[in-house]
Amino acid sequence: MPSLLLDALLLQAGYNAALVALGAALLGMAAGSGGTFLFLRKRALVSDAVAHATLPGVGIAFIVMVVFGGDGRNLPGLLLGSAVSASLGLLAVQWIASRTRLAEDAAIGAVLSVFFGFGIVLLTIIQTMSSGYQAGLESFLLGSTAGMLFQDAVVIALGGALAVAFVLLLRRPMTLVAFDAGFATASGINVRRMDLAMMGLVMAVTVIGLKLVGLILVVAMLIIPPVTARLWTERTDRVLLIAGAVGGFSGYLGAALSASAPNLPTGPIIVLVSFALFLLSLLFAPGRGVLAALVRHRRFQLRVHRRQGLLALAHGEAIFDPLTLTVLRRERLIRQDAVATEEGRALAAKTLRDEKRWALARQVYQDEAVSGSYDGLTPIESVLTRDEIAEIDRRLGPPAPVA
């Protein structure tokens, strides 16, 4: 199996498999970056409704093609049908959310489940339509690349490439709209049209992804990469880039893994690869990661307690918070019986000095930059220059020692 995986990774597992892997990578890139816009517009789960709403379209397209004497399994035809019903689903979500008192989340849930339910009804009709057709439309639910036709693989690869090109072309206006729709309007961008383009992109990714990942999981390709990317950076252009990379990598590795062994359905594998990347990011990302946050919060709490403790010492007040006492004891600023040490008194005096400087500074400098930083923790040195502090000290007079 490792050699099979290696073959698949190196695109040596057959022409189809290679095309599928490339297609999955391209689709992953397009989905990751396209999903970024949706995520930044805080509408990630709209894609869930769009994806589930493709099912009745697939069913109807199949029936129509058979009725007109064609091959019901023609992939472009099925994809066209799915795009039409996905658009209807999207319209339904928007109509319910804007015209009734129901919120968008209820609209999304209703549309996705009802369209899906109706799609299942159609599938059961197709199953019994005529015995000659082994439609295999169930593969659209969870994706399947086993026994995929060559031309289907071509459709996926081409579609993925087109979607990537689309993102590259429109990334600038879309980023602007996602970041600040009001500003985008003011700079002459048609926000409605951009939203439409964004939804079109989402729809395209969904439809192309149907055969590969299936309609239940394709939404993961739109959501997980942007969220993963967001954990690493605060800059929109980088979110876009990282999301594309995460999506592309997951698509490629997932498709290769799936081709290397039986019973590894493509859709779930691709999703789980990107989820693994997400989990690693959630744990270890520097800014928004769990570990970083835990360390930061603890440090912050200790800083607060230390400062409060020193102020209490300076004012000659008693300390009753156990954590404050622990912090001060650990730094040997107080003795076991909570009496301040030499060092503690010195530091307390310094802290008190800082407080007094702040109080005076806030009267002297009446601007936001100074008063807004008066949160009890920011050292005054980080806000005022040395000369300004010297001037304040002159007004305050000589420091008083803490008894």
Partner 1 sequence: MGVEFVQLSLTPLLIGILAAIACALPGNFLILRRQALIGDAISHVVLPGIVVAFLLTGVISTWPMLLGAAGAAVVAVVLIEAIRRVGRIEPGAAMGVVFTSLFAAGVLLLEQSDTSGVHLDVEHALYGNLESLIWFSAEGWGSLTDPAALAALPPELFRMAAAAVLIGLLTVVFWRPLKLSTFDEGFAGAVGIPTAALSLGLVITAAVAAVAAFDAVGSIIVIAMFICPPAAARLMTNRLEIQVLWSVAFATLSAVLGYVLAGYGPLWLGADNAVSAAGMIATVSGLILALACLFAPHRARIGAPRGA
Partner 2 sequence: MNNAALELASEAGERVFRPAPTDSPLAMQELTVSYGEKPAVFSIDATVPAESMTAIIGPNGAGKSTLLKAALGIVPRLSGRVMVFGAPLAQVMHRIAYVPQRASVDWDFPTRVIDVVLMGLYRELGLLHLVRHHHRERAIACLERVGMADFADRQIGQLSGGQQQRVFLARALAQNAELYLLDEPFAGVDAATEKAIIDVLKSLKAEKRTVVCVHHDLATVTDYFDHVLLINVRKIAEGPVATTFTAENLQKTYGGRLATAHIDQLKLPAA
Single out the residue of 184, 188, 150, 159 nearest to residue 34, CA to CA. Answer: 159
Collapsing DSSP states into helix, strand and coil, what is residue 87? helix
- Indicate which of partner 1, partner 2, none lies near residue 301 (CB less than 5 to 8 Å, by partner kind): partner 2
Place of tokens 């490439």: 161
Does position 104 interact with partner 2 (CB under 8 A)? The reply is no
Of positions 79, 108, 153, 184, contacts partner 1 by CB under 8 A: 108
Of positions 135, 319, 328, 383, contacts partner 2 by CB under 8 A: 319
Q: Write the interaction track for partner 2 spanning residues 365-394; mark x where CB under 8 A is met and - where it is not.
A: xxxx-xxx-xxxx-----------------
Q: How far is CA 208 from the centre of its chain?
A: 21
Q: Write the interaction track for partner 1 spanning residues 291-310; mark x where CB under 8 A is met and - where it is not.
A: --x-----------------
DSSP strand E in 130-199: where? none
Q: How far is CA 306 from the centre of its chain?
A: 36
Calculate the CA dihedral of residues 157, 160, 165, 167 and round it to 10 degrees: -170
In the complex, the smallest distance separating the C-beta of residue 382 from partner 2, rounded to whole angstroms, is 14
Does position 282 interact with partner 1 (CB under 8 A)? The reply is yes
State the Rg of the chain over Cα. 30
Measured from the CB atom, is 65 or 272 closer to partner 1?
272
Query: What residues between 354 and 393 interact with partner 1 by CB under 8 A?
Result: none
Q: What six digits make up the tokens of 61? A: 């397209």
Does position 54 interact with partner 2 (CB under 8 A)? The reply is no
- Residue 267 · residue 141 · CB < 8 Å: no
Distance in angstroms (rounded) separating the CA atoms of residues 207 and 51:
8
Q: Work out the angle at residue 24's Cα, subtended by the Cα atoms of residues 171 and 199, and round it to the nearest 5 degrees.
A: 40
Measured from the CB atom, is 133 or 374 closer to partner 2?
374
Does position 231 interact with partner 1 (CB under 8 A)? The reply is yes
Residues 6 or more apart in contact with residue 162 via CB below 8 angstroms:
204
DSSP character string of 262-290: TT--HHHHHHHHHHHHHHHHHHH-TTT-H
In the complex, the smallest distance separating the C-beta of residue 240 from partner 1, rounded to whole angstroms, is 15
Measured from the CB atom, is 78 or 220 closer to partner 1?
220
In the complex, the smallest distance separating the C-beta of residue 365 from partner 2, rounded to whole angstroms, is 8
384-390 contacts, C-beta under 8 A, 24 or more apart: 388/361, 389/357
Measured from the CB atom, is 276 or 311 closer to partner 2?
311
Contact residues for partner 2 (CB under 8 A)?
Answer: 101, 296-297, 300-301, 304-305, 307-308, 311-312, 317-325, 338, 359, 362-363, 365-368, 370-372, 374-377
Contact residues for partner 1 (CB under 8 A)?
Answer: 39, 42-45, 47-48, 52, 95-96, 99-103, 105-106, 108-110, 112-121, 123-125, 128, 138, 141-142, 216-217, 219-220, 222-224, 226-227, 230-231, 263-265, 267-269, 271-272, 275, 278, 282, 285, 288-290, 293
